[in-house]
Structure 1
């Protein structure tokens, strides 16, 4: 468990092959409801390995546990070594090789932060090769719900061009907490967006997570003047 209601799960392909994915893509887990009808749920890949740099076939995902949820029951009941059926990868919520922007503004809430974890190696490469700046706004209610927060903070400390800004709506970290640093903000990500002064001439924005958050930031960025192709979105809905 990486948060009170979120599990980080690791799987291996049973054919021993790596998953040929692009960071930001997702897989679908297939299972059956209690009545035998088919069901599926989508999960972003938390590690975006390419075939030529994968030491094994590991596929990691983050799963929100929802009370009474069929998918939650599936994952909570899995023993070590159990198998699930999956398909994919799918999706185009990825960094584009022909991007010429000077800054990425990444915004995520809940498990919508997962694609950005997978993108970290690519972002490091882009920062080194073309000097791009990156800002990550991560929305959560409390410090305990900052998924992969320690990793993002460590990445920011190792890469001066990467700024990590947790936005906490209910509880700020204690003064002696590792999550306490000058870039922590109190409030929702959409309320912090204006502080970054988004610029249509330099920025590409990524929005992932709660649909209301995605819509609010999409409208705000459009009002600022970012062209719609420069605002890339993926909405996460908690399904039972």
Structure 2
């Protein structure tokens, strides 16, 4: 898949959380952005002094077919106080464009996977690639009977990105998809839609052993905070998983 430079035109945006926006673009050159779920793009811009820079964003687009021209290109953007990228995105008006390149990355589901279960672990915007993977996960569930666990970390319910979509997917596949939100600071209100049996109070790495990682049957994906990724990677190694069965992507906030 060739890496290209292309203009992205903003179509819409909404807030996912108090400091995270969901941005919907289309390619403004009449070409499709064909990508593999789990990949990312880079957005290029300049600092105030003219120095060129770029930021990477995982594609959130729910992708289950060959892309067509004019189809959505979706990303989640974390706002960082005083950040140059934050200023770019907050100031972007509907119909304006940014310069992007991609797709990049190998944090993808593999066609040759023969595992019995996926362990998907994320914090913050690190959950974005898993949203894009939902159609492929559904295919693996239907065709191979695979089980999927999603451990998603957030500080509080307001910061749980795409939680409604993952919960709906779990309701569609209750035997195969288990969704466990882990809140480090504040739990959902009792009786709310988010207050279900699989909610945990703490960090995702604290609850990984609940699932007894299996070296023979599991493939794990780790995406988000570098400390979380490192802690979960060590725990999975101690459980006997080979390195090739643990796929990692660290998210480092840049201003």
With normalisation by structure 2, the TM-score equals 0.92
For 2:63 and 2:191, the matched residues in 1 are separated by: 35
Q: Which residue of 2 is the match for residue 233 of structure 1?
A: 248
Post-superposition offset of 1:176: 2.2
How do residues 131-210 of structure 1 correspond to structure 2 at under 5 angstroms? Answer: 131-160=145-174, 161-210=176-225
Q: Secondary structure at the match of 1:156?
A: helix
Per the alignment, do residues 123 and 188 of structure 1 end up closer, same or farther by CA in structure 2, a change over 3 Å counting?
Answer: same
Question: 1:89-116 deviations in whole A, cap 9, x for unaligned?
Answer: 0000000000000000000000000000
Q: Secondary structure at the match of 1:35?
A: coil
* Structure 1 unaligned blocks of 5 or more: none
* Structure 2 unaligned blocks of 5 or more: 1-14
How do residues 8-87 of structure 1 correspond to structure 2 at under 5 angstroms? Answer: 8-49=22-63, 52=66, 54=68, 56-87=70-101
Question: 1:37-60 deviations in whole A, cap 9, x for unaligned?
Answer: 001000000015366354733100
Tell me if structure 2 keeps the 8 A contact 1:22–1:50. Answer: no
Q: Secondary structure at the match of 2:41?
A: strand
Post-superposition offset of 1:15: 1.7
Tell me if structure 1 keeps the 8 A contact 2:64–2:135. Answer: no
Bigger share in strand:
2
Q: Secondary structure at the match of 1:92?
A: coil
Q: Which residue of 2 is the match for residue 212 of structure 1?
A: 227
Tell me if structure 2 keeps the 8 A contact 1:17–1:57. Answer: no
Q: Secondary structure at the match of 1:106?
A: strand
Q: Secondary structure at the match of 1:126?
A: helix
How do residues 80-99 of structure 1 correspond to structure 2 at under 5 angstroms? Answer: 80-99=94-113
With normalisation by structure 1, the TM-score equals 0.98
Residue correspondences, number: 240
Tell me if structure 1 keeps the 8 A contact 2:123–2:153. Answer: yes
Task: Give me the CA root mean square deviation.
Answer: 1.1
Per the alignment, do residues 53 and 87 of structure 1 end up closer, same or farther by CA in structure 2, a change over 3 Å counting?
Answer: closer
Equivalent of 1:222 in 237, 244, 250: 237
Post-superposition offset of 1:178: 1.1
Tell me if structure 2 keeps the 8 A contact 1:22–1:48. Answer: no
Runs of 4+ in 1 over 2 A off after TM superposition: 48-57
Q: Which residue of 1 is the match for residue 7 of structure 2?
A: none
